[in-house]
Amino acid sequence: MPSPYVDLDRPPLAAGGLRATLVSPGRLVTDLRVVAETGSTNADVRALAVAGAPEGTLVATDYQSAGRGRLLREWTSPPRSGLMFSLLLRPVEVPAQHWPWLPLLTGCAVVEALESAAGVRPRLKWPNDVLLDDRKVCGILLERVETPTGPAAVVGVGLNVSTTAAELPGSHATSLRLAGAATTDRGTLLVAVVRTLEALYAAWRAGGDVAADRPDDLHGGLRAAYRARCATVGRDVRVQLAPDRWLEGRAVDVDEGGRLVVRTTDGDHALGAGDVVHVR
């Protein structure tokens, strides 16, 4: 349970200021809710989506007691030490086969936002873990949900901001504070991530070419932008495909469907899912 006392080094999110900054006509965020504590922001937004909430509904929290990441892994951190939020998207005009790009797009947005707002140089581990110095600083979870008005996507972000080494789950994780970031203000980071995501999402939704070979231009080529930020491509990897099934080889590309292409002794394998381990 979070402490009733406010840690001055970890202030609560300022709902009023964030709402004034992010919610305005013509922008992506249409409703912003900040809660002191919740079980899971993804679960909250999923329920709102089913109830008919509009695209752009965003829920952020100071403390998440039952958060989870990919493969149902738990995601917890001390109160106000991380940035945890979920956003409802309804890209109904985008063909279903392109939806797997949404978590990769979100990863690109987080990387660009942290570079500009926090002065760090993150990389992506396929599909959407954000790394600093090869340690996880941010997890992204996308869930598709069927609603009365059509399919929707709930995008969840969990970023370690001021977490100390003793508070992290192990040496595989890090935080912005430990990486010497220029800011650990969660409001500033939320605005940066949402604004960047808004721009990338608008371009993708408008039909941007994910195959365009323009690594310097996020809007001109999402696939190229992702590959340029991906620490997995070019590395030897072990990919867990099932509890007792692994694939080992060299990650050589991310294809037009967002799948990781792993080259083994018997050829190339395009993987749409899997838990990747970078082999050192």
Q: Which CATH number belongs to the domain containing residue 273 in this structure?
A: 2.30.30.100
pTM for the full predicted model: 0.92
Is 170 found in the same domain as 237?
no
> pLDDT tens, 216-228?
455 448 999 999 9
Do the domain assignments include residue 93?
A: yes
- In this structure, the answer to whether residues 110 and 162 fall within a common structural domain is yes
Domain around 136? 15-206
Q: Are residues 178 and 255 in the same domain?
A: no
Measured CA distances, 215 to 178, 192, 229 (Å): 29, 21, 9
Strands 123-125 and 82-89: unpaired
> Across the strands, what pairs with 123?
131
Query: Do 191 and 268 share a domain, yes or no?
Result: no
Give the number of other CB atoms < 10 A from CB of residue 273: 13
Residue 10 lies in a domain: no
DSSP structure class, residue 13: P
Distance CA 174, CA 221 (A): 30
In a domain, 34, yes or no: yes
pLDDT at position 206 is 87
Domain tally for the chain?
2
* 158 in a structural domain: yes
Residues 116 and 243 both lie in one domain = no
pLDDT in tens, 92-104: 999 988 999 999 9
Task: Indicate whether 149 and 256 sit together in one domain.
Answer: no
| Residue 61 maps to a domain | yes
Same domain, 262 and 164: no
Together in a domain, 141 and 264: no
In a domain, 22, yes or no: yes
Q: What pLDDT score was predicted for residue 200?
A: 94
Do both 244 and 112 map to the same domain?
A: no
Judge if 174 and 263 occupy the same domain: no
Q: Under a CB-based contact definition with an 8 Å cutoff, are residues 32 and 7 in contact?
A: no
**Residue 113: strand, helix, or coil:** helix
Q: How far apart are CA 27 and CA 93, in angstroms?
A: 18
Are residues 182 and 51 located together in one domain of the fold?
yes
The CB density around residue 51, as the number of other CB atoms within 10 Å, is 10
Q: Per-residue pLDDT tens, the chain, 280 aa: give them.
A: 555 545 668 999 999 999 999 999 999 999 999 999 999 999 999 999 999 999 999 999 999 997 665 555 566 789 999 999 999 999 999 998 899 999 999 999 999 999 999 999 999 999 999 999 999 999 999 999 999 999 999 999 999 999 999 999 999 999 999 999 999 999 999 999 999 999 999 999 987 556 555 544 554 489 999 999 999 999 999 999 999 999 999 999 999 999 999 999 999 999 999 999 999 8
Q: Could you identify the residue written with the tokens 């956003």?
A: 87
**Would 228 be classed as within a structural domain?**
no
Q: Domain with 49 in it: what CATH number?
A: 3.30.930.10
Residues 200 and 125 in one domain: yes
The predicted pLDDT at position 207 comes to 77
Burial 152-170 (b: 16+ CB within 10 A, else e): bbbbbbbbbbbbeeeebee
In this structure, what token pair is assigned to residue 102? Answer: 């949404």
Residue 255 counted as domain residue: yes
**Phi–psi pair at 70, nearest 5 degrees:** -65, 150
Residues of 109-134 as b/e, b for ≥16 C-beta within 10 angstroms? bbbbbbeebbebebbbbbbbbbbbee
Q: How far apart are CA 165 and CA 177, in angstroms?
A: 10
C-alpha 225/C-alpha 241 separation (Å) is 26
- Would you report the helix, strand and coil content of the chain in percent, each value rounded to 5? 25, 30, 45
